A and B are shown apart, each in its own frame.
Chain A
């Protein structure tokens, strides 16, 4: 029996895009949390952490409410892109991003906060703008932690099931990611397909976690 590799390919593509989006958003939020004082700061932190603790179905339900065809945001999306967001692979990206972002924000905030403040003080004293201080001093000094967090975020984006299923659906060849395909294979009695997919995903996850750990260990020693 031939294994259909499309779901795996789709998962990788969704996870890659989701990682990029959550990296951009996550670093920005982490920077705000680490450096700025504003009202509702800890509230924002809690809100960003929520996807980590909520059941995926709750997350998926929220997404449907916020981005569905009858919601204002859904209307805007349809008007801009000419089609609905729900039940497309882009919807899967949204779900995966939401899943990946807490990891990034948490690790990046901790990393930014452990950078010795005197380096940032020195940089500002030498005339560097906040932007330059971040890109030339803070980020390079927390580089390893951020890379490790990005790798983990990718792994998490790769494995999302519940929220993706709810907002992107299970359309073979369009929105059926690896995690969903495995569920379908088990349900449909395709043990062979399920086994191959499970194995591939496990090996990939293992490799990613191993790499992330290696990166973080080097951060500590050197």
Chain B
């Protein structure tokens, strides 16, 4: 279990604006993703925990050990913190072989055990065949595995991963994900994963923390956050394409209904707890929840909005359609084949897919 409360201020520099990190979280065994755009303070958070950055205030606890406590003037050196750290560029020592990299890291173990441990790790991470090579002589996936093995060989109580999938192609990425899932099961330790890839969060993380400008703007299970983003910023970070300013016209808790107005269209939704009549809200609908179709009859049906098709973008599994009024719809490829000759389009907003923020 890692508990951290960190605050750190950086005054403005000639080449950078002022930045302040102000976060508090705890994470148990399993993968917790630190998700956010670049410059949100994700790596800074890892560096504070690993002891490379000295926070101005706060407290960091790993299991029962205090790693850092500003009030008590405690700050363990990085060497004493027992955090495995997989760096963004792997940071494998270029002048040592793969085996020597692991031996260097196994220094904490007694001499007799060290040799067995290194062999064991080489075996487990499929590195035995290349153990005598230098890092620049092995593949990207092997470098990746070696850096993870090196971080784990000292039996850390916490694993820090800084964008481990960056620069890997799709097959290597899949391999990395299955490796990390195995590690999650075998080593029951907290794993903090820094990423700006939403799919990675869904693949690996039980919990995710969304960071923006040095603050945690939302935390929870990835699925929950996607279902109910806490704010427009979070929705934007999660790649939501349909965000509209709207007004609540009617609310009926008894029949679990509501009525919303946006861009001169009126549509029905479910009841929104905690909202009042006349509230200005953000209406948020995921592109894959909207349905686009040909207009039936002379007028659109309820919850349908007429729109003009502006742009078509092909995606691997689906077709991304952009309509007038900034409405985006993801449509399965087969369905698009059937509908592509439509002239008058309407977009259907399913009542239970509407979220207000």
Contact = CB atoms under 8 A, between A and B. Distances in A.
Interface of A: 116, 118-119, 121-129, 132, 136-137, 140-141, 143
Nearest to B102: A126
Interface in B308-323: none
Nearest to A129: B79
A177 B92 CA distance: 48
Contacts of A141: 93-95
Nearest to B100: A136
Contacts of A126: 104-105, 107, 150, 154
29 contacts: A116-B91, A118-B88, A119-B93, A119-B94, A122-B85, A122-B87, A122-B91, A122-B150, A124-B52, A124-B77, A124-B78, A124-B79, A125-B50, A125-B81, A125-B83, A125-B84, A126-B104, A126-B150, A127-B105, A127-B107, A127-B108, A128-B79, A128-B104, A128-B107, A129-B79, A132-B107, A137-B93, A140-B95, A141-B93
* Size bracket of the B interface: 20 to 34
B256 interface: no
Contacts of B89: 118
B346 to A, nearest CB: 55
Interface of B: 50, 52, 77-79, 81, 83-85, 87-89, 91-95, 104-105, 107-108, 150-151, 154
Contact of B87 (A118, A129, A132, A140): A118
A106 B189 CA distance: 45
B93 A121 contact: no
Rank and list the top 7 A-B pairs by shortest CB-CB distance, nearest first.
A122-B91, A118-B91, A126-B105, A124-B78, A125-B85, A140-B95, A127-B79
Contacts of B150: 122, 126
Contacts of A137: 93
Given A136-B104, A140-B95, 14 more contacts: A118-B89, A119-B91, A121-B85, A122-B91, A122-B92, A122-B150, A124-B79, A125-B50, A125-B79, A125-B151, A126-B105, A126-B107, A127-B79, A127-B105
A215 to B, nearest CB: 16
B84 to A, nearest CB: 8
A123 B104 contact: yes
Contacts of B95: 140-141, 143
A129 B107 CA distance: 11
